Amino acid sequence: MSSTQHKKILFTGPVGAGKTTAIQAMSDVPIITTDEQATDMTKERKGQTTVSMDYGYINIGKKERIHLYGTPGQERFDFMWDILKNGAIGLILLIDNSRKNPQQDLKFYTKAFSEFIDKGELVIGITRMDEHKSPNINDYRGWLQELDITAPIFSVDAREKTDVSSLIQALLYTMDPGVAA
């Protein structure tokens, strides 16, 4: 009987940052979502919102699988964040550059997921930079420096498999610099 290695990566960030889309772009199978009709201020950004989690996976060869879990973006579902953190090897934080205060989003989510950051298991992807040029990557680097956080940061399109793959590869590399991309 063959044994398969499993790894779990967690995607988090505010509503509309692209978590569901990123997982969908990467998953080798149709993803499981728990989207429901948005009924609060979220409906101004999108019609559906994740209320529990998103899930998909990537097969790496025959003996390794990376499970991709996405958290709900709304703070009122933060109990799910604690559940989904269990067993995760790292965190990909997506920030929507078109939101009113992405700096505040960065502060909020880095505080909420500080245990990953303390272990150096964080990569940040900034979405919608093609639509909103400001703030730029250097602004985010400065904000991370103010928060005393060191993490790779990328401008990404969550719809593009190559962009999301770069985030995952960077995360795996930060955890084990000997990993070949």
Topology (CATH) of 5-175:
Rossmann fold (3.40.50)
Q: pLDDT digit of tens for each residue in the chain (181 aa)?
A: 345 578 999 999 999 899 999 999 999 999 988 756 555 554 455 455 565 689 999 998 888 999 999 998 778 788 888 899 989 999 999 999 999 999 999 999 999 999 888 887 999 999 999 999 999 999 999 999 999 999 999 999 999 999 999 999 999 988 776 655 4
Only one residue has tokens 């919608």, namely: 128
Return the domain boundaries, the chain.
Answer: 5-175
What local confidence, expressed as pLDDT, does residue 45 receive? 52
Secondary structure class of 174 (helix, strand, coil): helix
Cα distance between residue 88 and residue 147, in whole Å = 23
Q: Which residues contact 44 (CB under 8 A, 6 or more apart)?
A: none
Contact (CB, 8 A) for 8 and 18: no
